Amino acid sequence: MSADGLHQQLRTMFHTTCGGLLDSIATPCCPVCSIELPREQSNSPSVIRACHRCEKLIEPISESCPRCGAPVGPHAANEQGCHHCHKDRLQFDRAFALGLYQNELRKLCLAGKQQNGTGTLDWLAERLYQAHAETFSSEPYDIITAVPQHWTTRLRRRHNSAEVIAEHLSTRLKTRFAPHILSKVRWSAHQRHLSPTARRKNLRHCFAAIRSKPLYQSRVLLCDDVMTTGTTASECARSLRDAGAKTIDVAVIARGVGQTTDEDRQHNST
């Protein structure tokens, strides 16, 4: 390892350790408006959720495309998709989202990626569960897993947002949490300037699923924090299906349907 590489690794370890210490003594604040949270709104300093005012500003998607989870008007989508996805060859069956990736929900998703963000993600995952509890429970899943990170990303981050969400939903749905059945075996470049075709090519063969008896003919719920074009989830679903899964649904906190900012792209690098 080069001197620069060793220095970067030591710096990351320092920030991770010291960040955890600061998290334990810092007063929790709302990630959206930065107001200090009353004690009754946060059970511990590590649980950073939205304040009551900002929570009320988060509007769940009332009408969504059953195929890609994007917001649509009444009767504007069917099993073949909506204007966002009808031309896409998505490999998953259905998608569910709490809300649009904008405003308060966007800030909360970005807060969830911070080193002290697991409490925020648990809170968001509970909101997602409450919004779709009836659908989640109508046809029980056999396995819940998460969109994986490449190992180089895991070195830089304390947690994988998708795994935190998946583990929370597995507890609520009393379903097996299997994070290791899916892995990202090849690093991929940013997709910010790529066409839909180039995006698919960029992620092709990036993911691999382990063939196993529990996965064969199973119903799988794949979790992530944000879905924009659906390319990542679709490639993960392709790997799961190749390994024997029968049905793959996708659950995300936020559904993005517009352009993302440079800040989003930095945080979403996997």
225: domain CATH number?
3.40.50.2020
DSSP characters over 7-59: HHHHHHHHHHHHHHHHHHHSPPB-TTT-PBPPGGG-SSTT-----HHHHHH--
Q: Is 242 helix (H, G, I), strand (E, B) or coil?
A: helix
Name which of 71, 38, 31 is nearest 54 in CA terms: 31
The tens digit of pLDDT for each residue in 37-76 reads 875 555 554 556 889 889 889 888 888 999 999 999 877 7
With cut-offs at 50, 70 and 90, classify the pLDDT of residue 140.
Answer: very high
* Residue 35 covered by a domain: no
* Residue 22 covered by a domain: no
Does 125 have pLDDT greater than 60? yes
CA distances from residue 122 to 112, 161, 230 in whole angstroms, order as listed: 9, 9, 23
- To which H or E segment does residue 257 belong? none
pLDDT for position 76: 72
pTM over 0.85: no
Contact 214, 180 (CB under 8 A): no
**Residue 201 CB-half CA count within 13 A:** 5
Contact 183, 207 (CB under 8 A): yes
Burial of residue 168, with CB atoms counted within 10 A of its CB: 0-12 exposed, 13-18 middle, 19 or more buried: buried
* Residue 259 covered by a domain: yes
The tens digit of pLDDT for each residue in 223-240 reads 999 999 899 999 999 999
Higher local confidence (pLDDT), 222 or 71:
222
Average model confidence (pLDDT) across the chain? 83
CA-CA distance, 20 to 9, in Å (whole number)?
17
* Residue 11 covered by a domain: no
* Residue 85 covered by a domain: yes
* Residue 185 covered by a domain: yes
Tokens representing 84 are 């966002």
CA-CA distance, 270 to 266, in Å (whole number)?
9
* Residue 232 covered by a domain: yes
Q: Is 250 helix (H, G, I), strand (E, B) or coil?
A: strand
How many domains is the chain partitioned into structurally? 1
Domain range for 168 is: 59-267
Over range 98-116, report the average pLDDT. Answer: 93
Contacts of 22 (CB under 8 A, 6+ apart): none
* Residue 28 covered by a domain: no
CA-CA distance, 125 to 226, in Å (whole number)?
12
pLDDT for position 158: 86
With cut-offs at 50, 70 and 90, classify the pLDDT of residue 3.
Answer: very low
Contacts of 33 (CB under 8 A, 6+ apart): 51, 53, 54
